[in-house]
Amino acid sequence: MNKRLFITLIYLTLSISLSANEEIKTLLHELDQALQQRHIYVENKEKQLSYLQARFEESDTQEQRYKILSNLYEEYRLFNADSSLHVVRELYETAQRTSNKEYIVNARLNMAEVLGVAGMFTEALDILKDIQVPNLPKHLLPYYYHICRTIYGYMDDYAVTPSQKKLYNEQTDLYRDSILTVNDPESITFQIVKADQYNVHGKWDEAINLLEEYSRTHPLQIHEKAMLMFTLSEAYKLKKDNENRKRCLLESSIADLKSAVREYSALRELAVILYKEGDIDRAYTCIKLCMEDASICNARLRIVEVLELFPVINDTYQKEKEAQQEKLKIMLYVIFALALCLSGGIYYLYKQMERLALARRQVIEANNKLTQANDNLHKSNSKLQDANHSLAENITLKEVYIGRYMDQCSAYIDKMDEYRKSLGKIAASGKLEELFQKLKSSQYIDDQLKDFYENFDDTFLQLFPHFVEEFNKLLVEDEQIHLKNPHRLNTELRIFALIRLGITDSIKIAQFLRYSVTTIYNYRTKARNKAKGNREEFEKNVIKIGYKQEPV
């Protein structure tokens, strides 16, 4: 059980650590974006200032001028110390012209606040001492104590002797207590000052719990978030929780940048942390912005604070850049050397490719000649095969027809002998009239021709069983021949059957079929006119029917 609990604790610790790392990475990315968009936030701030300035110039009454100047002071307060000092002087003069005591006191408090930020502590305290605290309106008391606490806090930070530091520290504590007595416990001011009090007295856990809980349960304006997160970072600093301190400083810095203030506390401390972590580029960017904005704002205290850090970070940054430049030079030399080698390699490769291209052209020419020779050989082989096939076919046809011819001749001899014997019997019996009738009749010859043609059809269709089908393919569809008896050819088919067998002479065909030459010619012409393709090639195509090309 203990082992399982130990593993669970390790797993939870690792999960929390990974989650924190991811959050820091996200915040760093958001900080980089805020730094890049800094000019946009400043432009928006300047547009707001221009708008208020235009309203001020258009205002008719001192009351309106006072309210607009108050808004201008709030906008300038953390944006430009010189401008805020100029505005607060005009605000004081306007308040005097209104004869409103509350306005006058508020303007004097504004003046004290500006002088304190500018480092003019004596002048600021002189103004505060002249203010009668018992006569202050209730709503101005928190502001009065806040200024007192802020000025004595600055004096504590910059005190030289221990006695002075002790005195200013005590005064800061007193005014911190006063702030807590006059502010609503649920207000952001109360929470931040209370947490600050916890931090001063070493109760950082109470400060952390107070501010973490308040940030979760209360909606915060962007500048309020910046102040709260900075105070929370101080508590984590005292607790030596660097991870959470860095997180709070990042959130506070991002809020400051988006608020377009020019007085940074969080960004300055964040730059130190980044510097110690070795993130020199980002640290330099942050501290450089702190220096530039402090100079533009003319916030003397911030300039002094930044000047303590800027030279160290800047020196490291410059050394790192110099080292990078040296590395860059070396890399450039290496790249130059590699470029020379690459150029030589490319030149060598180009020459090799030229040789290869020449060899390839020679091979292509040789292949073309070989292909042409192969084509010629193929044509010769095709012609030889055609001749061999034709010869073989002719031999086959001759063998078949010789056999048929010998059988038919033998059969005709037997029939003639029988016919002779029948005539001899008629003559011997003295039937001269019957004998003359027999000799005059053509019936016997007609019967023999019929048998002869039937025998021809049978023999031819055995040799070329698909002749009729292939012959019809050579004719247009409407002119194709359809036989009633598939085993008997008509006259037209017999003519072309003889042509297929190599008998192309119309006279011989006419003698064979017992027709006139004109009739045979007409049949051949009519068939050519019905041809589907080239009529001149029709009879050549008929001769090819049944011809089987042997594979090459």
pLDDT band at 549 (very low <50, low <70, confident <90, very high): very low
300-314, 329-343, 350-364: segment of lowest average pLDDT? 300-314
Percent of the chain surpassing pLDDT 70: 82
502 touches 537 (CB < 8 A): no
**Of residues 345 and 410, more confidently modeled:** 345
Which region holds residue 551: left if phi is over 0, alpha if psi is between -120 and 50, else beta? beta
pLDDT score at 158: 82
Please count the residues of the chain. Answer: 552
Residue 455 lies in a domain: yes
**DSSP class of 475:** B
- For the chain, give the mean pLDDT: 83
pLDDT value, residue 29: 93
Number of helices (H), then strands (E), in the chain: 22, 0
Residue scoring higher pLDDT (111 or 395): 111
CB-based contacts of 173, cutoff 8 Å, min separation 6: 197, 200
Closest CA to 517 of 540, 490, 442, 525: 525
At 265 the pLDDT is 84
Residue 495 lies inside a defined structural domain of this protein: yes
Lowest mean pLDDT among 12-26, 180-194, 205-219, 326-340: 12-26
pLDDT of residue 96: 93
Higher pLDDT, 151 or 366: 151
Q: Has residue 457 been placed in a domain?
A: yes
| Number of separate domains in the chain | 1
Assess if residue 509 is contained within a domain.
yes
Mean pLDDT of 490-494: 88
94-143 pLDDT tens trace:
999 999 999 999 999 999 998 988 888 899 999 999 999 888 999 999 99
| C-alpha–C-alpha distance, residues 443 and 440, integer Å | 9
The C-alpha atoms of residue 412 and residue 430 are separated, in whole angstroms, by 27
Q: pLDDT at position 419, please?
A: 67
User: What pLDDT score does 332 carry?
Assistant: 81
First to last CA, the chain: 86
| 361: amino acid identity, one letter | R
Neighbours of 377 (CB within 10 A): 10
Compute the distance between CA of residue 419 and CA of residue 416 in angstroms, rounded to an integer.
5
Q: CA 487, CA 284: separation in Å to the nearest integer?
A: 108
User: If we measure between CA atoms, which residue out of 160, 153, 208, 156 comes closest to residue 175?
Assistant: 153
How many Å apart are CA 513 and CA 449, to the nearest integer?
A: 9
* pLDDT value for 14: 46
Give the CA distances from residue 366 to residues 195, 235, 252, in Å, rounded to whole numbers and listed in that order. 95, 89, 81
Query: How far is 273 from 339, CA to CA, in rounded Å?
Result: 42
Residue 32 in this model has a pLDDT that exceeds 60: yes
What is the number of other CB atoms lying within 10 angstroms of the CB of residue 10? 10
| pLDDT: which is higher, 35 or 388 | 35
296 pLDDT more than 80: no
Lowest mean pLDDT among 13-22, 238-247, 316-325, 542-551: 13-22
CA dihedral 169, 172, 178, 183 (to 10 degrees): -130
d(CA 67, CA 56): 9
3-state secondary structure 165-220: HHHHHHHHHHHHHHHHHHCCCCCHHHHHHHHHHHHHCCCHHHHHHHHHHHHHHCCC
Q: Residue 243's pLDDT is what?
A: 93
What pLDDT, on a 0 to 100 scale, did the predictor assign at position 65?
93
Token duo for residue 491: 């006259």
For residue 460, give the amino acid letter.
F
pLDDT above 60 (res 1) = no
pLDDT bucket at 552, cuts 50 / 70 / 90: very low
Q: What is the pLDDT of residue 287?
A: 85
Give the range among 147-156, 218-227, 298-307, 459-468 with minimum mean pLDDT: 298-307
CB 255 within 8 A of CB 221: no
The DSSP 8-state label assigned to residue 78 in this structure reads: T
394 pLDDT higher than 50? yes
For residue 417, the one-letter residue type is: D
Are 289 and 35 in contact by the 8 Å Cβ rule? The answer is yes
pLDDT of res. 339: 81
Is residue 393 pLDDT above 90, yes or no? no
3-state helix, strand, coil in the chain (%, to 5): 85, 0, 15
228: Cβ contacts below 8 Å, ≥ 6 apart: 188, 191, 192, 211, 214, 215, 220, 252
Fill in the DSSP letter of residue 488. S
Range of the domain at 527: 442-543
pLDDT over threshold 80, residue 215: yes
Assess if residue 167 is contained within a domain: no
Domain-embedded: residue 37: no
**pLDDT of res. 101:** 92
pLDDT for 5 equals: 55
Q: Does the pLDDT of residue 17 top 90, yes or no?
A: no
Low-confidence winner among 155-164, 371-380, 389-398, 527-536 (lowest mean pLDDT): 389-398
Q: Is residue 497 part of a domain?
A: yes
pLDDT at 401: 58
Q: Is 20 in contact with 243 (CB distance < 8 Å)?
A: yes
Q: pLDDT value at position 190?
A: 94
The residues facing 475 across adjacent strands are 531
Calpha distance 307→330 (Å, rounded) = 35
The span from the CA of 445 to the CA of 300, in Å, is: 146
CB 451 within 8 A of CB 445: no
Contact 265, 230 (CB under 8 A): yes
In 3D space, the residue among 265, 201, 202 whose CA is nearest the CA of residue 233 turns out to be 265
| Per-residue confidence (pLDDT) for residue 551, from 0 to 100 | 37
Q: Would residue 491 count as lying in a domain?
A: yes
Confidence label for 462 from pLDDT (cuts 50, 70 and 90): confident
Count the neighbouring beta carbons within 10 Å of the beta carbon of residue 267: 27
233 near 245, Cβ under 8 Å?
yes
Integer-rounded Cα radius of gyration of the chain: 60
Token output for 65: 């001028």
Task: Output the CA torsion 20→23→29→30 (10° steps).
Answer: -140
